[in-house]
Chains A and B, each alone.
Chain A
Amino acid sequence: MSSADGRQPKIRLDDIHKTFRWTSKGKQHVVPALEGVTFDIRPHEFLSVIGPSGCGKTTLLRIIASLANADIGKVLIDGREVTKPGPERAMVFQAFGLFPWKTVIDNVKFPLTTRKVPDAEATRRAREQLRRVGLDRFETSHPHQLSGGMQQRVGLARALATEPDILLMDEPFGAIDAQTREYMQEELMKIWHETDKTVVFITHDLDEAVLLSDRILVLSRGPGTVRRVVDVDLPRPRWEYDVRAHPNFAPVRHEIWQLLRRDLQAQTEEETTGGD
């Protein structure tokens, strides 16, 4: 039950398979999304997952969160199999996923309220997280009154509310403009340094993956399998220097790009020749 370095993995993905099947208009659809993903995620590490569009990244994250079940294989957290969402794992959604009818603070309190945390306690903890993401002045605002970047900070505060060990983030900054994104990346790094969480971070952005991660998991094009695991050897804290100018930055970025490019090429060829 322990990985090569002798420590128990925080998350163990054990031979995860997932195929989507459904019928519409009498036609059977079968879409294999994941085909045998086996991987150990270390405690406190920042892991990015990258791969061509449709390769099953979101599906994998949903399975880790127990929002979907694997057909074969299992997910172990601290050595125990999980089948239901729990407060030790929290999701940050690409489209923020805030409840538009709730105020900022009520959105952040939500994971606590559903778990029967007394209201005063929930409010106190929600305030603490809102302060952490710098939004304590917007408690009583509604999501639509905030910019995209601010909304995602609410999403982050909500995920932090239950003080989870694991943060699951599905392209959290994908819908945010470039400058705000850079600022959010820095904030996330700082929060990660402060709180010691294990982060699984899906992204399409090579620079973002290299900038943030300890390791990068590259998935093959769909159905997803583990293609390669790339170590990122860049000193931390990374907001204290220009990471992109570091001699280790370009080689890692290039390595991942080479892997992705081949898959993208194959995918485009398949599409243009109509083969399958």
Chain B
Amino acid sequence: MATEASAGRRLRLRGLTAGPHLLAALVVFGSWELYGRVGNPVVMPPVSAVLTGLFDITFGGPLPGALLSSLQLLFVGFATALGLGTLLGILIGRYSLANRVFGPFLNAMYATPDIALLPLILLWFGFGMTGRVVVVFLAAFFPIMINTYSGVRDAPADLLEVGAAFGVDSELGRLRKVILPAALPLIMAGYRLGIGRAVVGMAVAEVYLRLGGLGTLIVQYGAAFRTDLLIAAILPLPLLGIVLTKVFERIENHFQYWRNV
């Protein structure tokens, strides 16, 4: 009974919060359409033109292929960041020796804006796939590494003692049974932040490092002054960022449920 009532309340709340959203969307898109129709379409094409453009480049157009190629880059870069970020986070969070060896380098790199590194990455890794992967990797790596590091460093001493009392007697056991489960909410939050950054990194890599995927379309349409298609090609980026972040938020909440007291 109680859960039904609260579910009902939640639905009504959702209705209340959706109302303003819809209204805002109506105002924004409405004025955009109007402005586009009276003004210069190269500067600002109306929404309807953008949507038609999106339709055209999606069905029988170049968008799906470009998106797929972008997703490949995103996947490789993010997966590398996830693996290395988690591993290094564990190492420097748990072992002071690792922290002393890697810590200063990581701090210095973290303090350097990724954009400033682009020319270097170009020099070191060239125009190939590797350079682009490195850009995506760098974008996603730090939130993942830092969150893993904090989670592992603050491993609960009392639960480590509980583990020891009940037969956990190896470092691997401590990691698997106590430290990582306790750090999981923070680690997952790092992945969520990381995937959002990775999407940005992907766009930067494909537009500024070497044309590829969505980047090709964006630059092409820009050069041709097809602003309607340009916006249509940019649209998948925020969508991708939002959708992926939401997906990771879901996963994160799944690992977090025991925290809600």
Contacts and interface: CB of A to CB of B under 8 A. Distances in A.
A114 interface: yes
A185 to B, nearest CB: 23
A85 B170 CA distance: 13
B166 A114 contact: yes
B171 interface: no
Contacts of A114: 163, 166-168, 173, 177
A67 B169 contact: no
A91 B255 CA distance: 28
B59 interface: no
Interface stretch (B43-51, B131-139, B145-153, B154-162): B154-162
B179 to A, nearest CB: 12
B178 to A, nearest CB: 8
A101 interface: yes
A236 interface: no
B221 to A, nearest CB: 49
Interface string A142-164: 11100000000000001000100
B5 interface: no
Chain B facing A: main interface SS: helix
Contacts of B164: 67, 85
A162 B165 CA distance: 12
Interface in B234-261: 255, 257-261
Contacts, number: 55
Contact of B162 (A97, A101, A144): A97
Contact of B181 (A95, A101, A111, A158): A101
Size category of the B interface is: 20 to 34
A107 B260 CA distance: 18
B184 interface: yes
A238 interface: no
Interface string B197-222: 00000000000000000000000000
Size category of the A interface is: 20 to 34
Interface in A80-125: 84-85, 87, 90-91, 93, 95, 97, 99-101, 110-111, 114-115
A113 B200 CA distance: 44
Nearest to B181: A101
A133 interface: no
Given A95-B158, A97-B159, A110 B166 contact: yes
Interface in A49-67: 62, 65, 67
A164 to B, nearest CB: 10
A130 B69 CA distance: 54
7 contacts: A85-B165, A91-B162, A97-B161, A101-B184, A111-B166, A114-B163, A143-B258
Interface of A: 62, 65, 67, 84-85, 87, 90-91, 93, 95, 97, 99-101, 110-111, 114-115, 142-144, 158, 162
